[in-house]
């Protein structure tokens, strides 16, 4: 039972345009969400997070939006750069303060020059 | 900077061998995790530990065990390696309480032949 879903396996955008990566979740108890970026043969690196008390969090070119009623979040990258080409994972923090993260399947972003 | 170090980047083992994957973190984090990453499946939690000598099963613990004798070190053990355990293995750590990001090691690409 996939509690965090990224339904788009891949996304291709032109350099300078906006990249929008989507994520859906099923458990209304999730209250903290994160995005990670992963290059091949490397570990994931933290990008940005959002608490359920907010609906938007921004950090430079990266913005995460949270729609609690729809159980949906999205990551916007503006403007996209070729170096952003990677796999992006959405994650939710499991209830109970254990530090456990529940990950989506990942979306491979390709930014074309 | 937090550093999570996995002992090997690449490993090739034979079916039936006992395999040890080691992970060390240098930031005094209470929680440590082992995930595996497979295409289309995202990151799945194998085991985690929230204290020395404590362990909890994740979503896919079958065929694995763990050891945490010291706070900074968390080992993943494949008791008898099988070809379906060929995967990317990722170690992570987090602070003890509250919502916080996980810090990942660089990953170990294990191939079982």
For B21-55, write each residue's pLDDT tens digit. 999 999 899 999 999 999 889 999 999 999 898 99
| B41 Cβ under 8 Å from any chain A Cβ | yes
Size of interface A-B (CB pairs under 8 A): 70
* Chain B nearest-CA residue for A49: B101
Predicted pLDDT at B2? 65
| B103 Cβ under 8 Å from any chain A Cβ | yes
Q: Is the pLDDT of residue B17 over 80?
A: yes
Inter-chain CB proximity A98 and B33 less than 8 Å: no
Q: Is A48 helix (H, G, I), strand (E, B) or coil?
A: strand
Q: Mean pLDDT across the stretch B86-102?
A: 87
CA of residue B56 relative to chain centroid, distance: 12
Question: What DSSP character marks residue B40?
Answer: T
CA torsion sign for A51, B43, B56, B59 is: positive
> In angstroms, rounded to a whole number, what is the distance separating the alpha carbons of residues A109 and A83?
10
Paired tokens of A85: 């080409």
Q: Dump strand ranges (E) for chain B.
A: 4-6, 10-13, 19-25, 31-38, 42-49, 56-57, 64-70, 73-78, 87-94, 103-104, 108-112
Whole-Å CA distances, A22 to A7, A52, A71: 8, 16, 11
Strand B10-13 with B108-112, pairing: parallel
pLDDT in tens, A43-90: 999 999 999 999 999 999 999 999 999 999 999 999 999 999 999 999
Strand A101-103 with A86-93, pairing: antiparallel
Paired tokens of B68: 């945490």
Confidence of residue A2 (pLDDT cuts 50, 70, 90): confident
Q: Is the pLDDT of residue A98 over 80?
A: no
Average pLDDT of chain A is 94
Strand B31-38 with B42-49, pairing: antiparallel
Predicted pLDDT at A100? 86
């Amino acid at each position: 039972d996939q509690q965090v879903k990224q339904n788009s396996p891949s996304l291709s955008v032109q350099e300078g345009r906006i990249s929008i990566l989507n994520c859906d979740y099923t458990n209304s108890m999730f209250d903290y969400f994160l995005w990670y970026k992963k290059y091949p043969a490397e570990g994931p690196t933290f990008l940005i997070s959002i608490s359920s008390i907010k609906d938007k969090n921004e950090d430079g070119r990266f913005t995460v939006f949270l729609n609690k009623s729809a159980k949906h979040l999205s990551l916007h990258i503006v403007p996209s750069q070729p170096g952003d080409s990677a796999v992006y994972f959405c994650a939710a923090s499991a209830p109970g303060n254990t530090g456990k993260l529940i990950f989506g399947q990942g979306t491979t972003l390709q930014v074309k020059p | 900077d937090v550093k999570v170090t996995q002992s090997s980047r690449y490993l090739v083992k034979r079916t039936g061998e006992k395999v040890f994957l080691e992970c060390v973190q240098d930031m005094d984090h209470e929680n440590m995790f082992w995930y595996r990453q497979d295409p289309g499946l995202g990151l799945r939690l194998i085991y985690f530990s929230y204290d020395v000598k404590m362990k909890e099963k994740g979503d896919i613990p079958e065929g694995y065990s763990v050891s945490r004798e010291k706070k900074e070190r968390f080992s993943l053990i494949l008791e008898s390696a099988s070809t379906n355990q060929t995967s990317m293995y990722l170690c992570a750590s987090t602070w003890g309480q509250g919502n916080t990001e996980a810090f990942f090691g660089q990953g170990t690409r294990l191939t079982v032949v």
